[in-house]
Amino acid sequence: MRFDVVTLFPAIFDGYLTQSLLDKAIVRGLVEIQRHNLRDWAEDTPHRKVDDRPFGGGPGMLLQVEPTVTCVRDVDAMCDVPARKILLTPQGRRLDQRLAEDLATSDRIMLMCGRYEGFDQRVLDILQPEEISIGDFVLNGGEVAAMTIIDAVVRLLPGVLGDEQSSLDDSFSRGNRMLEFPQYTRPREFEGHTVPDVLLSGDHAAIAKWRAEQSRVKTIDRRRDLLPENSKPNHEHPNQRS
């Protein structure tokens, strides 16, 4: 898979791209990440200007349509595979595991990172990107949201995690859509806190049963909305938080 990131601050990604999981995936050729500085498409070369004041007044600046559309079209043409264009914005569809799984089926994704007050509306009208949000809050730019999408998607690519099962057991994963069961490792006891006996039993059927129940209880307690319709309890669960 290839990611193309359009941003005014490509250096923001420097440390991120060298972190272990992503670095290994890049080195192994499982993913490619190209960064493109929108300012390289600025018309006004001395100042490399790509933003201007909003018509009708209002605070801040907007990213202009001409450099943005030209940049996106040029970046798209850099590779034979057309890019799935995604614009990061608080107004977009909320990112969740299902969407991450869908994105992971794409061969190429372009992530358009806004800054200031965002893009001129004609960028959206002309390019028709998918708009995705990572949550109901406002960031200073789309770069953190872009890294979030890259992180959530790359780990789902075949071969990246090494043990496919470890992504399938995650909370929200296609395996069960529920919250993950509690996990334990050595030591067996710490400050009086011990590991559940069933996990030490070697009885894989009992362990699987315990884990499924733990997932269900935790999901009922915290995220009843994730439960399949046919398994929603019709009473207040004793652990249900108000």
Ligand X SMILES: NC(=O)c1ccno1
- Does residue 90 have an active-site annotation? yes
- Does residue 102 have an active-site annotation? no
Catalytic one of 48, 76, 90, 169: 90
- The helix/strand/coil state of 215 is helix
Q: Which of 90, 117, 169, 180 binds ligand X (CB under 6 A)?
A: 90
- Does residue 155 have an active-site annotation? yes
**Using CA of residue 115, residue 123, residue 38, residue 92, what is the dihedral sign?**
positive
The label of the residue with tokens 């595979």 reads 81
Which positions from 53 through 72 interact with ligand X, judged by CB under 6 A?
none
- Side-chain half-sphere exposure of 2, counting CA atoms within 13 A: 13
Q: Which of 55, 56, 138, 229 binds ligand X (CB under 6 A)?
A: 138
Q: Which of 22, 31, 62, 88 binds ligand X (CB under 6 A)?
A: 88
Task: Tell me the per-residue interface mask from 94 to 133 with ligand X, x by CB under 6 A, - otherwise.
Answer: ---------------------------------------x
- Shorter beta-carbon distance to ligand X: residue 141 or 175: 141
Q: Is 138 annotated among the ligand-binding residues?
A: yes
- Does residue 117 have an active-site annotation? yes
- Shorter beta-carbon distance to ligand X: residue 22 or 95: 95
Q: How far apart are CA 130 and CA 82, in angstroms?
A: 14
The answer to whether residue 7 forms part of the interface with ligand X (CB under 6 A) is no
Amino acid (one-letter) located at 170: D
The answer to whether residue 89 forms part of the interface with ligand X (CB under 6 A) is yes
Catalytic one of 155, 177, 222, 223: 155
Q: Is 226 annotated among the ligand-binding residues?
A: no
Give the angle subtended at the CA of 45 by the CAs of 44 and 46, to the nearest 5°.
100
Tokens for 163?
Answer: 């043990």
Q: How far apart are CA 236 and CA 240, in angstroms?
A: 6
Residue 186: Cβ within 10 Å count: 7
Q: Is 137 annotated among the ligand-binding residues?
A: yes
Q: Is 12 annotated among the ligand-binding residues?
A: no
Q: Are 170 and 29 in contact (CB under 8 A)?
A: no
Q: Are 178 and 215 in contact (CB under 8 A)?
A: yes
Q: Are 84 and 26 in contact (CB under 8 A)?
A: no
The answer to whether residue 142 forms part of the interface with ligand X (CB under 6 A) is yes
Active-site residues, by number, are: 90, 117, 155, 170
Q: Can you say which residues are annotated as belonging to the binding site?
A: 114, 134-139
Q: Can you say which residues are annotated as belonging to the binding site for S-adenosyl-L-methionine?
A: 114, 134-139
Instruction: Name the site residues for ligand X (rule: CB under 6 A).
Output: 88-90, 133-135, 137-139, 142, 145
